[in-house]
Amino acid sequence: MPQPDDHTLRALIAKMSLEEKVGQLFVMHVYGHTATAPDQRDVETNRKELGVDDAAALIARYHLGGIIYFGWAHNTRTPHQIAALSRGIQQAAARALPSGIPVLISVDQEHGAVARVGAPATLLPGAMALGASGSHEHAREAARIAGVELRALGIRQDHAPDADVNVNPANPVIGVRSFGSDPEAVAGFVTAQIEGYRSAGVATAAKHFPGHGDTTDDSHTELPRIDHTREEWERYDAPPFRAAVAAGVDSVMTAHIVVPALDPSGDPATLSHPIVTGVLREELGYDGVVATDSLAMRGVRTKYGDGRVAVLALKAGVDQLLNPPQPQVAWDAVLQAVADGELSEDRVDASVLRVLRMKAGVGLITEDGTAAPDLMAETEPAVGGAAHLAAADRIAEATTTLLSNDDATLPLSPRTHRDVLVVGADPRSPSGTTGPPTSVLADTLTGLGFTATALSTGASPDAALIEKAVAAAEGVDAVLVATYNVATHAATARDHTQAANAALFAALPTGEAGAPDGQAALVAALKATGVPVVALAIRNPYDVARLPHVDAALASYSWTDVELRAAARVIAGRVTPRGRLPVPVRRADDPAQVLYPVGHGLTY
């Protein structure tokens, strides 16, 4: 569809009031599964948090430019419901907004560990799993499928791909959300996913600039600090963002992190003019939309009040304000900043133009500057179709990584290992509609000819649960343990994947390994029974370093059904393991030493 040029978009902006312009810069969540008649509990929560009853009222009050969906906000129950909610939001915008500009509906649908739209939508391997596949084509196809399904639901932007380079195994917020620890490899996958989403007509968002991969703090609850030198930032953090800009990414999301080498002020990147304007716009040459990460996160709220944060973000060069925790406070502060001359209306207009370009790019605005006549031409039957599900299985089969396999324990065969006990962690599914992992693994193995039973022991099993698992292992032929971020008190080291890295980071911590957590104790107790023990890391692949005595170890990089089913097929020998580590695994007792390097992966 032909898109409007800047002249047409500027003519639209010229007709807007200041309030309408400011509204285009806000992206907010709202509780409820419908636009105008949510459940009473959602009405009450909306009144308390947002000062309105529902999505329609939110749009009308703030002349809202964007809405982001979340499962916890009860926006994503079923494909039919999501499509109806999107339709209702656009109808409300058509009624309430003088400009008539549609709302840009977005979601965090990274897949893997972060998925807001669950089954029956197609759930695909996440970033690190795709990195393990080594295939840009898989990454491109996964993004295309995700984009087609989101667009069918009225969602025109995905806050993906993650462009962070995960160089720190202790990173509590990125981990498997990253494609890996090699900057150039991550850059290639970021480019492929941008291409895939674009082919589906869905806008992308590279995150979290200037790079969240080497933090030990979570910006949801703290203000992390990254002490990379400028040279280190250029080498490790910048390449994926440079690649995203070159690929024409639609938006870049900022990180709530302090990077003194880029801005010594102590302000988070989201509020930093030197970082957003100086580095991203001027040095990297990016002129698309810059969006904040959620302004409700603690990392951006440690220094300034919520109103001031919104103003400082815009002054830094940001265009979209995502999820301000006190929307009226942020809205009033921005309007007051314009009235006081702290922000010029021309500065606001520049951000609105970027936002409208992005909306036009995904077909929300026609060539003549009017709202697209049929924003829901696609229908929800496009979601979760047989071809998409088959593609997800095929992609997942290329990701499972076999890390160790003593005495050719794997593959298991129903002839020699018919009775299998599946124990371990059962984290809540990212989508809230699949799992639990031990049951998915047991059911899949049973379907492959085994007699498999599931026993959930959780991520922190106590002595009673360990004893119960040991008793259940009596008489079985093999035990499969699903592990979830096995922890010790060992010092951790940043991952440095090339020889040059070691020179830049010479002082790696080496401390002694501490006492293992409950999962490691569970594995040790099961191993003592004499039954073969296979460990499957269902999130970060570093677990194998804390489980030195298992007979075989694998990594699936997430615990959605598609990745677990693929891992079960690998364990059963129905699929040859092809995944290769996209991050190094370091020794738990000496993190300066690499146990398994990038590219490691066994086969049979």
- Catalytic site residues? 220, 293
Cα(105)–Cα(151) distance, integer angstroms? 10
Q: Which residues contact 264 (CB under 8 A, 6 or more apart)?
A: none
* Closest alpha carbon to 579 in 397, 411, 408: 397
Helix (H, G, I), strand (E, B) or coil at 136: helix
Neighbours of 461 (CB within 10 A): 22
Cα(178)–Cα(435) distance, integer angstroms? 23
Alpha helices in 174-248 (DSSP H): 183-199, 230-232, 238-246
Phi, psi of 445 (to 5 degrees): -65, -40
Cα(206)–Cα(431) distance, integer angstroms? 21
Q: Are 538 and 484 in contact (CB under 8 A)?
A: yes
Neighbours of 417 (CB within 10 A): 24
Cα(351)–Cα(358) distance, integer angstroms? 11
Cα(400)–Cα(393) distance, integer angstroms? 11
Cα(148)–Cα(150) distance, integer angstroms? 6
Distance separating the N- and C-terminal Cα atoms of the chain: 49
* Closest alpha carbon to 74 in 113, 17, 20, 117: 117
Q: Are 162 and 211 in contact (CB under 8 A)?
A: no
Residue 596 pairs in a beta bridge with 585
* Closest alpha carbon to 64 in 90, 86, 44: 90
